[in-house]
């Protein structure tokens, strides 16, 4: 079977890029990924984006970016799956190379939140919920996550500040990531005093939306340049699953069934067990999502995901290091680009180039991208020999 290799990686800093356009932001990451790959020329481009038509008044990103990067003539399309858009674009690139239909693929995730401010951003984010039955009632992504968190706390008797460990770990890790939006650790007292945003979630329980672009070049090992010098990082498994869009249509709102199915399938396709995973990049748009990701992946029993953050199990030297370069919480949440950032960061870990964020001896990483409350889940297993 053909191994799909991550040949090149590129990213921009995550933050507020007021003076950079959407296309230029993407170009910066693409240029770096192509250079890092030994200047492979892709035959296809898959763009992960969530909100450009709403925030930037720009659709048709495939051709926009191909044209801007001097890649006219190739296949180029946009992939949208809310917050999982980047992960979904990566999966399409993986399938294209794995199938043998394409030799080299460019995957880029890009989002430009600062093209709108205030209510315009909230309105755009609300389009990822069920418009007829959720958004029309005024639900927001944070409000939706808060409802899940309240139920979780009630069922599992989570103490006050029980989610603190997720934010503390993310910010401690983000301090070592030069591309993170927040590069400063926080103390438990800061978390305890933080303003409430949507009860019971405070400002440290919610990842900040931000601008950013990340890119990957995928290919086969036999097509790498002769002077290629990076350790080989392959995508060993890939899977995707969906649940209901509206939260009220689920029998179990704490089940995150799509995430569980995607993890199980990705592990099976990679031919490994959960115990072989050295680190986990979960989708911590909200602390409650991180807790449920740990549970549905199998790292914790139901109702006990929060304990892994409280006891240090997700810290760099813990049982299962998570959000190793800050996660969405400290690196920032660049919408549809988040899943590609996860892949770039995981590849950096497996190459041994994560600096202060490095997980010692890491050989296998798992990344999970979620659209909404696991309405869409995309999981990839990355490995190096």
Residues 166 and 283 in one domain: yes
Residue-wise DSSP of 130-181: -TTTTGGGT--HHHHHHHHHHHHHHHHTPPTTTTHHHHHHHHHHHTT-TT-S
Is there a domain that residue 177 lies in?
yes
Per-residue model confidence (pLDDT) at position 118: 87
Residues 280 and 168 in one domain: yes
Residues 277 and 166 in one domain: yes
Is there a domain that residue 329 lies in?
yes
What is this structure's pTM? 0.97
Is there a domain that residue 320 lies in?
yes
Residues 372 and 248 in one domain: yes
Residues 55 and 74 in one domain: yes
Q: Are 129 and 39 in contact (CB under 8 A)?
A: no
Residues 201 and 75 in one domain: no
Handedness of CA 110, 114, 115, 117 (dihedral sign): positive
Q: Is 383 helix (H, G, I), strand (E, B) or coil?
A: strand
> Of 195, 223, 251, which residue sits at a domain end?
223
pLDDT along the chain (385 residues), means of 10: 93 98 98 98 98 97 98 98 98 97 98 93 93 92 96 97 98 98 97 96 98 98 94 98 96 97 98 98 98 98 98 97 98 98 98 97 98 98 96
Residues 327 and 186 in one domain: yes
Is there a domain that residue 231 lies in?
no
Cβ burial of 196 (10 Å; 0-12, 13-18, 19+) is: exposed
Residues 300 and 189 in one domain: yes
CA distance linking residue 67 with residue 69, whole number of Å:
5
> Of 192, 223, 254, which residue sits at a domain end?
223
Residues 37 and 150 in one domain: no
Per-residue model confidence (pLDDT) at position 32: 98
Residues 218 and 104 in one domain: yes
Q: How far is CA 56 from CA 74, 140, 198, in A?
A: 24, 20, 27
- Residues 197-240 have pLDDT tens digits of 999 999 999 999 999 999 999 999 999 999 999 999 999 999 99
Q: Are 87 and 336 in contact (CB under 8 A)?
A: no
Residues 19 and 39 in one domain: yes
Q: Are 254 and 288 in contact (CB under 8 A)?
A: no
- Residues 284-325 have pLDDT tens digits of 999 999 999 999 999 999 999 999 999 999 999 999 999 999
Per-residue model confidence (pLDDT) at position 374: 98
CA distance linking residue 229 with residue 249, whole number of Å:
50
Residue-wise DSSP of 31-58: HHHHHHTTSPPPSEEEEE-SSHHHHTS-
How many domains does one find in the chain? 2
Per-residue model confidence (pLDDT) at position 1: 63
CA distance linking residue 202 with residue 196, whole number of Å:
4
Per-residue model confidence (pLDDT) at position 78: 98
* 12: containing domain: 4-118+209-223
Is there a domain that residue 134 lies in?
yes
Any idea what the CATH number is for the domain that residue 198 is in?
3.40.47.10
CA atoms within 13 A on the CB side of 105: 26
Cβ burial of 304 (10 Å; 0-12, 13-18, 19+) is: middle
Residues 268 and 164 in one domain: yes
Is there a domain that residue 21 lies in?
yes
Is there a domain that residue 229 lies in?
no
> Of 193, 223, 253, which residue sits at a domain end?
223
Is there a domain that residue 366 lies in?
yes
- What is the 8-class DSSP label of residue 277? -
């Amino acid at each position: 079977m053909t191994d799909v290799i991550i040949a090149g990686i590129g990213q921009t800093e995550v933050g507020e890029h007021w003076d950079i356009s959407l296309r230029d932001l993407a170009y910066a990451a693409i240029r770096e990924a192509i250079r890092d790959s030994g200047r492979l020329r892709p035959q296809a481009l898959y763009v992960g984006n969530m909100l450009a038509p709403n925030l930037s008044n720009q659709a048709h990103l495939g051709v926009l970016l191909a044209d801007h990067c001097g890649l006219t003539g190739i296949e180029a399309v946009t992939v949208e799956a809310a917050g999982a858009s980047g992960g979904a674009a990566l999966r399409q690139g993986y399938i294209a190379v794995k199938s043998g239909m394409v030799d080299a693929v460019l995957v880029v995730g890009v989002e430009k939140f600062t093209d709108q401010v205030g209510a315009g951003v909230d309105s755009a984010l609300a389009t990822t919920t069920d418009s007829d039955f959720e958004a029309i009632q005024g639900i927001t992504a944070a409000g939706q996550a808060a409802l899940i968190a309240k139920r979780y706390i009630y069922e599992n008797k989570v103490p006050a500040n029980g989610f603190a460990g997720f934010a503390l770990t993310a910010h401690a890790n983000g301090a070592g990531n030069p591309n993170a939006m927040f590069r400063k650790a926080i103390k438990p007292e800061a978390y305890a005093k933080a303003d409430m945003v949507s009860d019971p979630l405070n400002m440290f329980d919610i990842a900040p939306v931000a601008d950013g672009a990340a890119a990957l070049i995928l290919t086969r090992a036999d097509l790498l340049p002769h002077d290629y010098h990076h350790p080989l990082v392959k995508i060993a498994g890939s899977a995707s699953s969906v649940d209901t869009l509206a939260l009220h249509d689920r029998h179990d709102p704490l089940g995150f069934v799509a995430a569980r199915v995607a993890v199980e399938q990705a592990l099976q396709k990679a031919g490994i067990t959960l115990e072989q995973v050295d680190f986990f990049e979960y989708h911590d748009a909200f602390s409650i999502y991180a807790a449920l990701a740990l549970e549905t992946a199998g790292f914790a029993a139901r109702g006990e995901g929060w304990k892994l953050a409280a006891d240090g199990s997700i810290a760099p030297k813990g049982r299962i290091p998570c959000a190793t370069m800050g996660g969405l919480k400290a690196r920032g949440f660049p919408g549809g680009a988040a899943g590609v950032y996860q892949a770039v960061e995981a590849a950096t870990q497996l190459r041994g180039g994560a600096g202060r964020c490095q997980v010692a001896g890491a050989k296998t990483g798992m990344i999970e991208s979620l659209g909404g409350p696991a309405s869409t889940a995309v999981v990839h297993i990355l490995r190096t020999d």
